[in-house]
Structure 1
Amino acid sequence: MNGPQTTPATPTTPTALTVAEAAARLDAFTVVDVRTPGEYASGRLPGAHNVPLDRLDEASAALMEAARRRPLLIVCASGARSARGCARLAELGVRAATLEGGTGAWAAAGHALERQAGARTPWPMDRQVRLAAGSLVVAGFAAGLAWPPAHWLSGMVGAGLVFSGATNTCGMAALLARLPHNRPGRDAVPFEETLTHLTT
């Protein structure tokens, strides 16, 4: 049978960890950061591997292999993307836990974040989405004062946000992740090398 095989359920592996729980036994986990490479470079949990959310399927075999050795802890900025990542991995047969509150909660609790020297610091993706969506709504409203059909832009953005909330997906985030400031820097570890690290 092709594809990842289901990992046997283990009652000792929770589906979510608080910052305190994660900090107490971080070395027991393989930490996977599902943020964009730009966000990851700006500060991540010690030892975290970067597998962006939109590449989880591609990395599923490596993550399955890593999960056989140690449980996976999935991390993002706030916990929203990591929860989606855990759900997707579960569909692929890979067990993982999410870090509640993400790197934001980790740093707020006084724990250190690793950073690449000289790395730029892009805004967290949820903040980028709010700025982009809000800007489009304001632009549609303002343009609609001169040309009423432009109000449809605001309506479409609003509908997109409703769909995003209902489905727990975000197409705008997927588009923003492709912008240069969210892409890997020149010193970033290549994705293929990350997969190799996960399996060794």
Structure 2
Amino acid sequence: MTTPTSLGAGEARTRLHELTVIDVRTPGEYAGGHLPGALNIPLDQIRRALPDIRRAAEHSEILVVCASGARSENACRILAEHHVTTVTLAGGTGAWAAEGHDLDRPRSTSRAVWGMERQVRLTAGTIVLIGLLLGVLIHPAFQILSAGVAAGLVFSALTNTCGMAALLAKLPHNRPRTADLETTLAELRNR
């Protein structure tokens, strides 16, 4: 399978009015800031939303967005398997913001939301620290925790996947509520 076509942030900004933007990050990440007009359909919900995305693709080009580009490429591959043509935002919302473009934030967001990458760094760092401390204070075998996280990070970098992010995405603050996804799909149908 080939790598999906991508648009730079500047080109995407000038074409935003003609694109249907689907943000595949978790609802928590989406709430932290997203492209104007983007609809939140988390990566793990793409197959469920497929009929509505396919219909939307008949009327406008689909731009798939995530934080850096890895999840949007995965979403594009899934959609391509179902004959839906898409493009990605090169560098994701990080590149969009770095070029000085505005990100929308829902008014109802009352708490700070951490992006998935930051959640992974905190979790990995905490597990490594606990493994090292327990290895020194209790028994050296606890250092296996730290080695396991290190191996997971290397594997993650080599395969451009992240098992820890997949697990963290299942936490309640990162999971879509059914009503939110249904509302998003209804909005997608009306475009």
After TM superposition, the score normalised by the length of structure 1 is 0.84
Tell me the C-alpha RMSD between the 2 structures: 2.0
CA shift, 1:110, in A, is 1.9
SS in 2 for 1:25: helix
Displacement, 1:184? 4.8
Query: What is the match of residue 38 of structure 2?
Result: 48
Does the residue aligned with 1:116 lie in a helix, a strand or coil?
Answer: coil
User: 3-state DSSP class of the match of 2:63?
Assistant: strand
Match in the other structure for 2:65: 75
CA distance in 1, matches of 2:156, 2:114: 20
Q: Which residue of 2 aligns with 1:9?
A: none
Report the counterpart of residue 127 of structure 1 in structure 2.
118
- The aligned amino acid for 1:150 is F
Partner in structure 2 of residue 4 of structure 1: none
- Structure 1 partner of 2:79: 89
Could you tell which deviates more after superposition, 42-51 or 154-163?
A: 154-163
Any unmatched runs of 5+ in structure 1?
Answer: 1-13
Query: How many Å separate the matches in 1 of 2:101 and 2:131?
Result: 42
Task: Calculate percent identity across the aligned residue pairs.
Answer: 55
* C-alpha separation in 1, matches of 2:41 and 2:87: 15
CA deviations on 1:89-119 (whole Å, 9 max, x unpaired) are 2223221111012112212222221111141
- Equivalent pairs counted in the alignment come to 185
Unaligned runs of 5+ in 2: none
Q: Offset of 1:189 from its aligned partner?
A: 6.1
Q: Which amino acid aligns with 2:180?
A: P
Question: After TM superposition, where is structure 1 displaced by more than 6 Å over at least 4 residues in a row?
Answer: none
Contact 2:8 2:90 (8 Å CA) reproduced:
yes
Q: How does 1:1-200 map to 2 (within 5 A)?
A: 15-119=5-109, 120-145=111-136, 146-184=138-176, 190-200=180-190
Counterpart-to-counterpart distance in 2, 1:20 and 1:121: 28
Say which is worse superposed, 142-151 or 112-121, in terms of deviation. 112-121
- Alpha-carbon spacing, 1:81–1:101, altered in 2? closer, same or farther (3 Å): same
Quickly say closer, same or farther: Cα 1:118–1:199, change in 2 above 3 A: closer
Q: Displacement of 1:147 after TM fit?
A: 0.6
CA–CA separation in structure 2 for the residues paired with 1:166 and 1:104? 21
TM-score calculated relative to the size of structure 2? 0.88
Pairwise CA distance, 1:83: 1.9
Whole-angstrom CA distance in 1 between matches of 2:145 and 2:9: 40
Moved more, 166-175 or 15-24: 166-175
